[in-house]
Amino acid sequence: MKSFVLVMALILPVVAPAGQRAAASKKNAPAAASHTPTPAEVDAALKRIYGYDPSIQWKIFLVRRSAVPGMNEVLLQLKGEFHHLFLTADGHFAIDGDMQPFGPDPYAGIRDLLSAANGVARGPDKPVVTMVEFSDLQCPHCKDAQPVLEKLATDFPGMRIVFQQYPLVNSHPWAMKAAHYADCAGRQSNDAGWKFIAAVYENQNSIALAIADDKLKELATASGLDAGKILSCATAPATEMRVKQSMALGDSVGVMGTPAIFVNGRPLETVSGIPYEQVKAIVQYEIEHAGK
């Protein structure tokens, strides 16, 4: 369960000198994050803090500028647990936790950003609500989520579902290639694009980086697509740009892993790990509050 956090305990035990704290208190506006640290810099900080115990292990997954003004963010695994850090602009403090949308219409900002979603879609052109899924075709959790999303599509025919590419390139070696193929498949034929996505999920275990092109072309043909055109499209710079734009869109709404699913801007923590009726209740609730 994600924590409802505005400010939580510092994971990095750093205390600013009194003079530094006094100087900071005089500033009226939050500082802009002038430098986004590299993974190596984050690693060096963690070594300085936890280096006293060689048994303490960590793995850094992501370092980027945060959507929270004046902060950077880091996703890492530390002592076997995942942590989401927000780093202050001066780099001296790290807040451990998640930021949650708030206010009378808490998901309006995310909803506005997601209006730019342009992946393969199904459902009415003027939907009651829109579900946007950011997914990685090599991700087993994304594969597990698909039957739930299929059931939601059946139970809520007035909902539109948009599939956005978000390959986790640091974890999944052929995910980026698959994202290129899927983007091209969807542009060649929306219906066949969905068939291609389903086929890749179904054949995840038989795809490897060394044979990815051959296997993806085979699945494109089986989905009713022109494999030659798909290959040409998949290697085009414009396709690479589209996938990167999809990933940037995900970053802008706080995506840090897949599948990341939003119902009218509301993020769902999971759809395959909780009872279906609970997921269905969330969708129904957003339908009832759409436009309010």
CATH superfamily of 108-288: Glutaredoxin (3.40.30.10)
Instruction: Confirm if 164 and 283 have CB atoms less than 8 A apart.
Output: no
For position 68, what pLDDT does the model report?
A: 84
Distances (CA, A) of 71 to 37, 93, 128: 11, 10, 35
Average pLDDT over residues 252-274: 90
- SS3 state of residue 217: helix
Instruction: Confirm if 287 and 129 have CB atoms less than 8 A apart.
Output: yes
Question: Rounded to two decimals, what is the model's pTM?
Answer: 0.80
Q: In whole angstroms, what is the distance from residue 42 CA to residue 45 CA?
A: 5
Decide if pLDDT at 18 tops 80.
Answer: no
118-129 residue pLDDT tens: 999 999 999 999
What b/e sequence results for 34-64 when a residue is b if at least 16 CB atoms lie within 10 Å of its CB, and e otherwise?
eebbeeeebbebbeebbeeeeeeebebebbe
Instruction: Confirm if 117 and 159 have CB atoms less than 8 A apart.
Output: no
Decide if pLDDT at 20 tops 50.
Answer: no
50-61 residue pLDDT tens: 999 999 999 998
Instruction: Confirm if 167 and 247 have CB atoms less than 8 A apart.
Output: yes
Tell me how crowded residue 87 is: count the other CB atoms within 10 A of its CB. 25
Q: Cα dihedral angle (251, 253, 256, 259), rounded to 10 degrees?
A: -110
175-185 residue pLDDT tens: 999 999 999 99
> For the chain, what is the mean pLDDT?
88
Residue with the two structure tokens 């929306």: 190
130-178 residue pLDDT tens: 999 999 999 999 999 999 999 999 999 999 999 999 999 988 999 999 9
For position 274, what pLDDT does the model report?
A: 86
CB within 8 Å of 246: residues ≥ 6 apart? 118, 119, 134, 164, 165, 166, 179, 183
Q: Any idea which fold 18-96 has?
A: Nuclear Transport Factor 2; Chain: A, (3.10.450)
Instruction: Confirm if 199 and 222 have CB atoms less than 8 A apart.
Output: yes
205-240 residue pLDDT tens: 999 999 999 999 999 999 999 999 999 999 999 999
Tell me how crowded residue 122 is: count the other CB atoms within 10 A of its CB. 14
For position 5, what pLDDT does the model report?
A: 33
For position 33, what pLDDT does the model report?
A: 60
Average pLDDT over residues 88-111: 90
Task: Kindly list the domain boundaries of the chain, sorted by start residue.
Answer: 18-96, 108-288
Decide if pLDDT at 23 tops 70.
Answer: no
For position 137, what pLDDT does the model report?
A: 98
